Structure 1
Amino acid sequence: MSRPDPYSVDAGQETRSRSPLSRSIGHTRGRALNVPSENRPQSYTSPHRMKDYERPSVRSYFHGSWYPHQPSPDQQTWTAYGSERIRAQTAELASLAISTTPSHEIGADYREGNNTLRSGGGFPSIDRVSSTDSPILVKSHLPRASNTRQEPFVEDGGLCPPEDYSRSPGPSHLTRLLRNPPPAETAVSSMNGMERNNDLRQDEIATERDSLLQTKILDHIPPSYNSSSPNEVEAQTSSAAGGKIGSLRNANICSLAIKLSSAKHWNRRVIWTNAVVAPISALPAVALALLLNLLDGLSYGIILFPLGEAVFSDLAPDGLSIFFVSTIVSQLVYSCGLSRFNAVGSEMIEVVPFFHKMAFTILSQVGQDKRAVISTTIFCMALSSVLTGVVFFLLGYLKLGSLIGFVPRHILVGCIGGVGAFLVLTGIETAARLEGSLEYTFDTLKVLFSLPTFFMWMLPLAISVFLLVLLQFLKHPFTVPAFFLSILASFYLLIAAIPALTIEGLRDGGWIFNAPKSNVPFWHFYTLYDFRAIHWEVVLENIPTMMALTFFGILHVPINVPSLGMTLGLENVDVDRELIAHGVSNCLSGLVGSIQNYLVYANSVLFIRSGGDSRLAGIMLALATTAIWMAGPGIIGYIPVFVVASLIFLLGIELLRESLYDTWRKLHKFEYLTVFITAVTMGLYDFVVGILVGIILTSLAFVIQASQKPAIRAAYSGARSTVRRHPFQQRFLNQVGPQIYLYKLGGFIFFGTISSVENSILDLLEERNFNERPIRFLVLDLTGVNGIDFSAAEAFMRIRRMLEKRDIFLVLTGPNGDVNAALEGVGIWDGGEEGVKLFSELNDGLQWSENFLLEAYYASKDQVSSRTTHLEVPSRPRAEVENVMNNSPRISQLRAAAKMREREESVSKWSSFKQPLPLILQTFQERTAENEDFWFRIIDFFERKEFLKGAVLFSQGEAASEFYLIQEGLLKASYNHQTGRYYESITAGTTCGELPFFSETPRTATVVAERDCVTWAMNREQWAQLQEQYPDVGRELYRLALKLTTERMESITNYILTRSS
């Protein structure tokens, strides 16, 4: 059950209570006004200031709301001291510095009335359940609806659209077409040009330069008649995640309908350009891409099944057919508009090792039942393609393509190296015509180095190495195709020149692939599907392999797509759109019985740069590939084995070079070790295990590297707040300030980084260091911390226990909602709040620490006055302040600082003077050698002005017409700086606004009364009269203004540097 709030307002009257400070020091003598705030006049000031008065939104607690990058602590339970209460305490302490009344007789409220945060204006309201002795329990929640209509807040230079604009669908494309018919004359574009425009329009809807919040009204958008924008459909509403697919479909349908329905397009010139010239101009690119497809099919389409096993030995033609089907499907999907690029699609080469693993698993489970093994294997291949497509599609549909970027790149690099090692080993197995798979035994090694097997696999290896060297000098796109065509032609010329060499003899010797059966059609692989023979339990066992294959497959799109866009000079490439295209192509490929495919970067660049930069060229390539597929697999019986093995070696060596050689000295040592171990594990042992090893090593590398970056960004001894205090208090805090020690923490704090924080604190508390540098407050600024794990949160509990043994306060500042929840979850505030304090920002925590030390100072001063022999601070909170006084490393600093009272005896001498002379003498005595006779001459040039709480003294940018001496109350100066917005509390016994006044420059801050204030102001006329009558006093004021400015600039600069470090 919560205790009643002693500061609550009942029946329109304010209930006054003794402040915590006054209760801790002595009895209360109330001096505050008891007029309810709603019944008070707006201002006590002169009429010319009336227009400047306003009631601003209260932002005294969550100052972090000025910083949009900081997470809001809304709907979180905070145990914290409110900023308003801290500044009220600061104002009361300032009143002690300029008053001759003993501190135990002075009392003021820490807050006047019910000054909790207003629930309007978008700021969280707070419920306070506390006594004046305990921290305020602040419970944030969203504001309730108010009957008062709030004006919309508009950023500078921004537009505020009508309230119902986002809900108004606006006119449809058909309505605008009827209202504004298209012009009679429209430029005729070529079909290729229109296709490019329609493709590019999808990405021109929003660019990096467009504003995040659209402020244009739909009715003001000029009508577009050939547009394919997703917003130009009937019932003009914003589509959700599925809007991208609808926009693509509508774009292509709209473009096709316009072309077919507009007769002006069908003249002789247009027909000749698009039906004859365009296809002929694309033939060179189509021929090159077709040749590349054929070489790819011969290199890894043939080895789709492990041909060394007897069960799969006759499936090379079927593997080639499956390759062609996957290539045709992907090419049609990309070329028909789902992809931004007119790219080349092909089978995903990385699937081969995974398919071999699935085949061996099925073979070991099913046995030698050929029909069942083949049916189960080919079904698992097709199913894995569907699963890959579904994942691709969902990532694109839900716009989660950016998530793939969180997968470390060196995992993919290691997997590429594993595929390269697998291909090299597969090349040896294919060229040597080994029976079964390649085994790492002495017998296998003996076979490989026996004649003629040694020459059978060494020849293609030498050819591939020679070609790699040749490619260093000849980088033409036709180099590789021309090289292998010349090798193939030389092989058959050699057969023709030597009569002893025959096709059949070379085929029997293993130099040419065996010819497929004469009655095997191109669609033969469809006959391998027998759902009655599938072992479904074995299919389920292969699901992990399919998932690993899917994980590896999705890593290519975020790499290939941006790389291709950069190479082709295309901006704003939509990765989500490409993911959807890949999802459709893989799902369709699996449904028609084929396997995974993807956009091939290298082939696409060659194709587009050779003239295949149109949809028509892509469709022509798909038709040509279909023709090759339908020609049948008989061509395999005439392909030399060493040519295929050379292609496999070439690709494997290139992948190994990319993975292991190109990354040498480019990666961190541990990252390179991860790549190497992943590649070796995948190539020599198992692909799924290799991926898991890569993930584990990558996680370990991340922990090691992250732990090497310290969580402590900076450390400060004697850090100070921005409060503008009385000179006496400034001098005292300068002496005891080192008792405040600040650590700036940053980043994500976890078990790997929290140990450095603990060790630093342990070193700080070590006996020898503590005696040399005693501290009372350890401030941990968590503003830069974006999260902590459970281990780090538990460490904060250990830190709290360590500090409690030394009677040190743990002051936590600026945690976001997640950090606060994590600390609360481990019970950081369990067992009371005697040792740990929480504040919304760093300035509040430093201000509270300074106030605590000042309370001890005034308590000790009173006891010295009463001739006590020891320092003792009673009451608020008695245990806390007594501990301060009884701690020997810190007591010496406090006693030394308490002796300053001897230099304050002159204050009582000035108490008989009429204001503002005592105020002038107290404010300037630390900075000037002039006495009261000198300053007595200027008292008539000051005018007494009073400001109610909330009144605005001046705003930033205004002309400086006055400067003020603060006699009572508290002001808040808010600055808008390049590094952010910050505030400064201005207490009694100080000045305000002197620099812009004397320098005749605009105001640099907005100053608002935080409490009811009594000030003494000098205006321009009075300043001119003072300079004319007493020029020596004017010169002295100039000099004092420079001194004050130097002090404040130093204070503000130090705080900015502290906060931004």
Structure 2
Amino acid sequence: MLPNYLCYVNSVLVYRSGGTNRLTGLMLAAGTLALLLVGPSVIQYLPVMVVAALIFVLGIDLAKEALWDTIGRVSREEYITIVIIVFVMTGWDFVVGILAGIVFACLFFVLQASRGRNTIRAIFDGSIARSTVRRHITQRRFLEQVGTQTQILKLQGFLFFGTINSVEDLIRRALDIAAWQRNPIRFMIVDFSLVSGLDFSAAEAFTRLQRLLEAKDVVLVFCGLQPDSAVGIALRSVDLWADNGVRLEVFANLNEALEWSENEYLRGMYASGWASARAFGRAMTGAGESGIEAARTFSGASGSDMGAHKPSTGSGAIPGLEAAGLDIPDSKGRQPAFVLDSGFENSPRRSHLQQAVRMALERTGGDAMMVGALNSVPEIEPENASSSASDAEAGLEGSERERTERRTASSGEQLPPNALPQPGDGQHQSHNQTAIQQRKRKLVQPAPLLTLTFKAYAQEDLGQEFFANLAPYFTKVRISKGQKLWERGDESDGLYLIEKGILKARYDFPQEEFEINEAMLAGTIAGELSFLSGQVRNTAVHAELDCVLWKLDGTNLDRMQMERPARDFSTFFRMLLRVTEEEQECLMSYLVTRLS
């Protein structure tokens, strides 16, 4: 018979004898009351051997249930705890056995938790986990390539001295020389959104990790926490999250952290001064004829300066990048995460960044126009259209004469002076006027914006003329900062091309605490999915900055279908669908990362 099990044995005896309802308790109470009234003399008539044998049988059955039936059903640590409890209770005391069970249960819990099986919920890199910012496809392809330098670590549960070791070991392995050569890291993002708290030893471990990462010039980024949360208080208690010069970035959620890291990659690339970075800039400013001549005609910029962004001193801002949406409100005042100076020309991260630029250009064809450079091409307003047109004619006519002179010099032929096209020569005036009119159509918005937005999605080589023919169907819309463009549930009256500014969309869900914000930058489209599907708006959109938009409504879309050739309309519609698919894929990648 197991020691100290008499009360439990009595209960089991009653249950196995058929006492499974409340009547059993009433009968037992009545029998106990009768024994109290009659006295203990009646007990001597009970067969002691039968009662003892019954108790022994029940004790053996309970021992079998505890020691034999649990084999293979509980873990090894739990079985050892059961055996220890049985022997301690038998050899010492019931209370001592309970204390021994509590001590060994805590010990085995620490050992199991220290294995870190459930502490690290998921691991991603920046090529999979992307922010919800809508960027131009050339920038997006670049970020997909360079995103492997961003590592995202999603943690969960309570972090203490037994669980933090697995996190520390994982980061140390990522910084190992062999792993670094295969996959160098620039940003280490740690998501605390599922962490309930951490103790002092875990907070100290993050301090050690921060020093280790800083030695490798890796920026540690925390997200998913607030200063007054349990995690925030623990981190501030070890002076990790404090204004003491520690290189640490903290954001409210994962989306903001990803957005900031993506902006830092673009800032660093544009400010590097590489030939490939200038090619990237030229690819986005239209390295083709129309893009460079547009900038020359209207802003006087030389072609050699296109896309060559230089960092300003002090704040780390790069001229022209604000227009491209690279300065989000949360990033204002932050220092650049890294500077690509000439001292690390052969580093793995620098080489990978250069390779990412080249691959992005190859994948997108390298002939779109830069988002920020749209601001260098002014719109022609009605009151100054004639003067701008005259300037364009003069510039284009001079360019025609220069090209004729260059062809003559290269061929070695000597032409009489009157053979060169003259500005007032009637022989060439008709031809020049036609060429000028065609070029002017390609330079005036929204033709450059259409080229910027759609040409990378075309499956065939589309000239500037194709997009210039689509421009008349778009209407300019200006909205001020903070103004609402549409609300959730509104009718879909059109889609919008963003020429300048930033639009902010909010996706609401039945769960009040679950909300997704999406920023849409210049060179992208807003409202295309609900417009093409004929559904009501599923988001609420407002202007983050003053915006210039170009709207295509249902009436003009029908006009385009009737007036343009069927091939042109189907090509444009397929490009719209590819843009929509690309944007939905980007949004889904963030949702998968957040819900993992």
Same fold (TM over 0.5): yes
Tell me: CA distance 1:884–1:635, structure 2 relative to 1, closer, same or farther (3 Å). Answer: farther
Which residue type is aligned with residue 474 of structure 2? Answer: F
Tell me: CA distance 1:868–1:1017, structure 2 relative to 1, closer, same or farther (3 Å). Answer: closer
Which residue type is aligned with residue 731 of structure 1? Answer: R
Of 989, 998, 1001, 2:535 maps to: 1001
Q: Which residue of 2 aligns with 1:819?
A: 231
Matches within 5 A, 1:129-528: 421-422=2-3
The whole-number CA distance in structure 1 between the counterparts of 2:486 and 2:166 is: 47
Shift of 1:1052: 1.5
**1:190-236 deviation digits (Å, cap 9, x = unpaired):** xxxxxxxxxxxxxxxxxxxxxxxxxxxxxxxxxxxxxxxxxxxxxxx
**1:542-564 deviation digits (Å, cap 9, x = unpaired):** xxxxxxxxxxx9xx9xxxxxxxx
Of 419, 441, 446, 1:916 maps to: 446
The whole-number CA distance in structure 2 between the counterparts of 1:896 and 1:1025 is: 44
The reply on whether 1:773 has 2:230 as its aligned counterpart is no
**1:714-752 deviation digits (Å, cap 9, x = unpaired):** 222223211101223223222322221111222222222
Tell me: CA distance 1:678–1:844, structure 2 relative to 1, closer, same or farther (3 Å). Answer: same
Tell me: CA distance 1:893–1:624, structure 2 relative to 1, closer, same or farther (3 Å). Answer: closer
CA contact (8 A) 1:953 1:1008 kept: yes
What SS is found at the alignment partner of 1:421?
A: coil
Of 66, 77, 81, 1:659 maps to: 66
Q: Which residue of 1 aligns with 2:244?
A: 832
Tell me: CA distance 1:638–1:840, structure 2 relative to 1, closer, same or farther (3 Å). Answer: same
What SS is found at the alignment partner of 1:823?
A: helix
Which residue type is aligned with residue 563 of structure 2? Answer: Q
Shift of 1:1060: 1.5
Shift of 1:932: 1.7
CA contact (8 A) 2:497 2:523 kept: yes
Q: Which residue of 1 aligns with 2:108?
A: 701
Which residue type is aligned with residue 338 of structure 2? Answer: V
Tell me: CA distance 1:676–1:787, structure 2 relative to 1, closer, same or farther (3 Å). Answer: same
What SS is found at the alignment partner of 2:574?
A: helix
Of 586, 590, 595, 1:1055 maps to: 590
Of 950, 953, 956, 2:482 maps to: 950
Which residue type is aligned with residue 649 of structure 1? Answer: F
Of 195, 203, 211, 1:801 maps to: 211
Tell me: CA distance 1:949–1:869, structure 2 relative to 1, closer, same or farther (3 Å). Answer: closer
The whole-number CA distance in structure 2 between the counterparts of 1:642 and 1:884 is: 94
The whole-number CA distance in structure 1 between the counterparts of 2:166 and 2:20 is: 55
**1:425-472 deviation digits (Å, cap 9, x = unpaired):** x9xxxxxxxxxxxxxxxxxxxxxxxxxxxxxxxxxxxxxxxxxxxxxx
Q: Which residue of 2 aligns with 1:117?
A: none
CA contact (8 A) 2:449 2:499 kept: yes
Q: Which residue of 1 aligns with 2:121?
A: 713
What SS is found at the alignment partner of 1:757?
A: helix
Q: Which residue of 1 aligns with 2:400?
A: none
CA contact (8 A) 1:783 1:814 kept: yes
Of 52, 55, 68, 1:648 maps to: 55
The reply on whether 1:875 has 2:314 as its aligned counterpart is yes
Q: Which residue of 2 aligns with 1:752?
A: 162
The whole-number CA distance in structure 1 between the counterparts of 2:367 and 2:307 is: 19
What SS is found at the alignment partner of 2:535?
A: coil
Shift of 1:794: 1.2
The whole-number CA distance in structure 2 between the counterparts of 1:599 and 1:1060 is: 51
Which residue type is aligned with residue 135 of structure 2? Answer: R
The whole-number CA distance in structure 2 between the counterparts of 1:884 and 1:715 is: 30
CA contact (8 A) 2:368 2:455 kept: no
CA contact (8 A) 1:423 1:651 kept: no
Shift of 1:753: 2.0
Q: Which residue of 2 aligns with 1:932?
A: 464
What's the RMSD between the two structures over aligned residues?
Answer: 3.4
Shift of 1:836: 1.0
Tell me: CA distance 1:791–1:1050, structure 2 relative to 1, closer, same or farther (3 Å). Answer: same
The whole-number CA distance in structure 2 between the counterparts of 1:955 and 1:811 is: 34
Tell me: CA distance 1:880–1:618, structure 2 relative to 1, closer, same or farther (3 Å). Answer: closer
The whole-number CA distance in structure 2 between the counterparts of 1:866 and 1:934 is: 28
Of 231, 242, 254, 1:842 maps to: 254
The reply on whether 1:964 has 2:496 as its aligned counterpart is yes
The reply on whether 1:622 has 2:29 as its aligned counterpart is yes
The reply on whether 1:855 has 2:245 as its aligned counterpart is no
What SS is found at the alignment partner of 1:713?
A: strand
CA contact (8 A) 1:834 1:880 kept: no
Which residue type is aligned with residue 1041 of structure 1? Answer: L
The whole-number CA distance in structure 2 between the counterparts of 1:953 and 1:938 is: 23
Of 549, 553, 567, 1:1019 maps to: 553
The reply on whether 1:1044 has 2:579 as its aligned counterpart is yes
What SS is found at the alignment partner of 1:812?
A: strand
**1:174-193 deviation digits (Å, cap 9, x = unpaired):** xxxxxxxxxxxxxxxxxxxx
Matches within 5 A, 1:4-15: none
The whole-number CA distance in structure 2 between the counterparts of 1:600 and 1:960 is: 71
The whole-number CA distance in structure 1 between the counterparts of 2:40 and 2:201 is: 62
CA contact (8 A) 1:750 1:788 kept: yes
The whole-number CA distance in structure 2 between the counterparts of 1:661 and 1:921 is: 76
Matches within 5 A, 1:30-109: none
The reply on whether 1:893 has 2:358 as its aligned counterpart is no
CA contact (8 A) 1:421 1:680 kept: no
**1:631-654 deviation digits (Å, cap 9, x = unpaired):** 111224444443342243233223
Tell me: CA distance 1:869–1:989, structure 2 relative to 1, closer, same or farther (3 Å). Answer: closer
Moved more, 1005-1014 or 626-635: 1005-1014
Which residue type is aligned with residue 922 of structure 1? Answer: L
Moved more, 989-998 or 947-956: 947-956
**1:317-349 deviation digits (Å, cap 9, x = unpaired):** xxxxxxxxxxxxxxxxxxxxxxxxxxxxxxxxx
CA contact (8 A) 2:500 2:547 kept: yes
Tell me: CA distance 1:898–1:627, structure 2 relative to 1, closer, same or farther (3 Å). Answer: closer
Which residue type is aligned with residue 555 of structure 2? Answer: E
Q: Which residue of 2 aligns with 1:722?
A: 132
Q: Which residue of 1 aligns with 2:423?
A: none
CA contact (8 A) 2:272 2:340 kept: no
What SS is found at the alignment partner of 2:338?
A: helix
What SS is found at the alignment partner of 2:267?
A: helix
What SS is found at the alignment partner of 1:860?
A: coil
The whole-number CA distance in structure 2 between the counterparts of 1:869 and 1:1003 is: 40
Which residue type is aligned with residue 948 of structure 1? Answer: S
The whole-number CA distance in structure 2 between the counterparts of 1:651 and 1:904 is: 86
TM-score (norm 2): 0.71
Q: Which residue of 2 aligns with 1:300?
A: none
**1:359-380 deviation digits (Å, cap 9, x = unpaired):** xxxxxxxxxxxxxxxxxxxxxx
Q: Which residue of 2 aligns with 1:1034?
A: 569
CA contact (8 A) 2:368 2:451 kept: no
Identity of aligned residues (%): 37
The whole-number CA distance in structure 2 between the counterparts of 1:711 and 1:803 is: 21
Tell me: CA distance 1:703–1:885, structure 2 relative to 1, closer, same or farther (3 Å). Answer: farther
The whole-number CA distance in structure 1 between the counterparts of 2:479 and 2:515 is: 24
**1:545-594 deviation digits (Å, cap 9, x = unpaired):** xxxxxxxx9xx9xxxxxxxxxxxxxxxxxxxxxxxxxxxxxxxxxxxxxx
Tell me: CA distance 1:761–1:609, structure 2 relative to 1, closer, same or farther (3 Å). Answer: closer
Which residue type is aligned with residue 746 of structure 1? Answer: Q
What SS is found at the alignment partner of 1:770?
A: helix
CA contact (8 A) 1:995 1:1041 kept: no
**Greater CA radius of gyration, 1 or 2?**
1
Structure 2 unaligned regions, length at least 5: 279-303, 317-334, 378-391, 393-442
The whole-number CA distance in structure 2 between the counterparts of 1:997 and 1:702 is: 56
Q: Figure out how many residues of one structure are paired with residues of the other and give that number.
A: 468
Shift of 1:656: 1.5
